[in-house]
């Protein structure tokens, strides 16, 4: 008999606990071993029931989800915790804090803290529980937390004003030497990512230098209300500025642009950003749509395509087209991908020139950008 994945549900709402239990019990490979009404109760139940995975609400009395998460991972660093948060700006901020603290992923409640229609994301809940359980192991989670701590230490040492001044001086020198580029960039890095993306991006992007001679476009599958908050989290953690992309902006070296949820980000002219609702795709923003627009605008040798963790195949075709045109493409290796869907599709279709684990991705991007 196949061992079932033991799930502990943590939510202060009795209705949410009931609905989550009903959703999880529809899958024969999962088993709800218990429920908890707050963060403190969750800590006690983890000790008592030894679950394989925990679904954790954020806003709870007695002890909130963030505090409980820290206690749980201190005692059980190998235990995957899936956050279940509200689809609001405030919910987004706390969700990203949870991911930085070690949560493996998140699911958003479609209509607030108490969602009567939670069933509409039932399939996503079941998928992410299984993926979180599959991807979690002591070594990877411990290494991830160590890298997060190292990243925060490095970022604290970065003096952004000084780095920006250095970058400006270099740009001025390039202009005097007649270094040619389209618009305001030497190269464009397009990063496509989905499930498991927030944690991976918070691991990779802070390791990129402030004076990177490229604009970075990040296409993360994410709800519209989350992208602005996520851009601010990334901006605070990175040595170069990152913001939610706005229509009419022109790409610049050493700047990051996060595609807003609900729109397609396309690039036109000399690197000008356009936001549109067409074409209508399963994911908006779509990695393929953005990559293909960049390929139409820039010399292929100026483009670096990157595809990391995520379900499905969005971005795989874009990677193939970039590589065939002469651009550089990098896919995340299966060993670190939370979900080896998107990168696998790119690799199998011949769209990945280089395959590296997430902890080497920043180094690979820098090398690709500096390659003449």
> Residue with structure tokens 């642009």?
257
Examine the pLDDT at 93 and tell me if it is beyond 70.
yes
Provide the pLDDT for residue 266: 97
On whether residue 304 sits in a domain, the answer given is: yes
Domain extent at residue 266: 165-370
175 lies in the same domain as 129: no
Q: Is 339 exposed, middle or buried (0-12, 13-18, 19+ CB in 10 A)?
A: buried
**Interval 311-359: pLDDT, tens:** 899 999 999 999 999 999 999 999 999 889 999 999 999 999 999 999 9
What is the enclosing helix (H) or strand (E) of 187?
strand 187-193
Provide the pLDDT for residue 94: 85
336 lies in the same domain as 230: yes
- The Cα 251–Cα 372 span in angstroms is 20
Active site residues: 194, 221, 314
Provide the pLDDT for residue 100: 82
113 lies in the same domain as 232: no
Mean pLDDT in residue range 147-151: 47
On whether residue 232 sits in a domain, the answer given is: yes
216 lies in the same domain as 300: yes
How many structural domains is the chain composed of?
A: 2
Examine the pLDDT at 183 and tell me if it is beyond 80.
no
**Interval 235-253: pLDDT, tens:** 999 999 999 999 999 999 9
34 lies in the same domain as 179: no
212 lies in the same domain as 307: yes
338 lies in the same domain as 215: yes
Q: How far is C-alpha 223 from the chain's CA centre?
A: 12
Provide the pLDDT for residue 232: 93
Mean pLDDT in residue range 60-88: 89
On whether residue 274 sits in a domain, the answer given is: yes
The residue with greater pLDDT, 118 or 102, is 102
Q: 270, 286 in Cβ contact below 8 A? A: no
On whether residue 142 sits in a domain, the answer given is: no
82 lies in the same domain as 178: no
- Mean pLDDT, the chain, whole residue set: 86
Query: In this structure, what DSSP letter does residue 215 have?
Result: E
Reference 248, options 235, 227, 231, 265; nearest CA is 265
Provide the pLDDT for residue 325: 97
């Amino acid at each position: 008999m196949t061992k079932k994945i033991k799930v502990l549900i943590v939510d202060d709402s009795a209705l949410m606990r009931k609905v989550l239990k009903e959703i999880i019990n529809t899958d024969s490979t999962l088993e709800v071993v218990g429920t908890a009404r707050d963060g403190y109760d969750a800590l006690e139940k983890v000790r008592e029931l030894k679950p394989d995975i925990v679904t954790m609400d954020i806003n709870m009395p007695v002890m909130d989800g963030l505090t409980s998460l820290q206690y749980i991972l201190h005692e059980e660093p190998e235990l995957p915790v899936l956050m279940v948060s509200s689809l609001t700006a405030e919910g987004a901020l706390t969700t990203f804090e949870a991911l930085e603290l070690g949560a493996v992923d998140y699911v958003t409640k479609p209509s607030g803290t108490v969602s009567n229609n939670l069933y509409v994301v039932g399939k996503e809940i079941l998928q992410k529980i299984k993926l979180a359980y599959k991807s979690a192991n002591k070594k990877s989670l411990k290494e991830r937390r160590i890298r997060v701590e190292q990243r925060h230490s490095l970022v604290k040492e970065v003096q952004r004003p000084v780095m920006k001044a250095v970058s400006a001086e270099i740009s001025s020198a390039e202009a005097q030497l007649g270094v040619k580029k389209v618009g305001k960039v030497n190269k464009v890095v397009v990063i496509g990512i989905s499930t498991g993306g927030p944690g991976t991006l918070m691991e990779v992007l802070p390791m990129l230098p402030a004076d990177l001679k490229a604009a970075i476009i990040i296409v993360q599958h994410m709800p519209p209300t989350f992208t602005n908050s996520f851009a601010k989290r990334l901006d605070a953690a990175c040595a170069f500025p990152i913001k939610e992309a706005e229509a009419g902006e022109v790409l610049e070296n050493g700047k990051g642009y996060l595609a807003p949820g609900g729109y397609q980000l396309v690039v036109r002219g000399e690197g000008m950003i356009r936001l549109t609702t067409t074409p209508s795709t399963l994911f908006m923003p779509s990695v393929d749509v953005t990559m293909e627009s960049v390929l139409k605008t820039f010399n292929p040798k100026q483009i670096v395509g990157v595809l990391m963790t995520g379900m499905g195949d969005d971005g795989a075709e874009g990677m193939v087209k970039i590589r065939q045109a002469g651009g550089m493409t990098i896919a995340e290796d299966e060993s670190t991908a939370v979900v080896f869907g998107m990168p696998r599709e790119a690799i199998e279709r011949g769209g990945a020139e280089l395959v590296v684990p997430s902890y080497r991705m920043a180094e690979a991007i820098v090398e690709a950008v500096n390659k003449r």
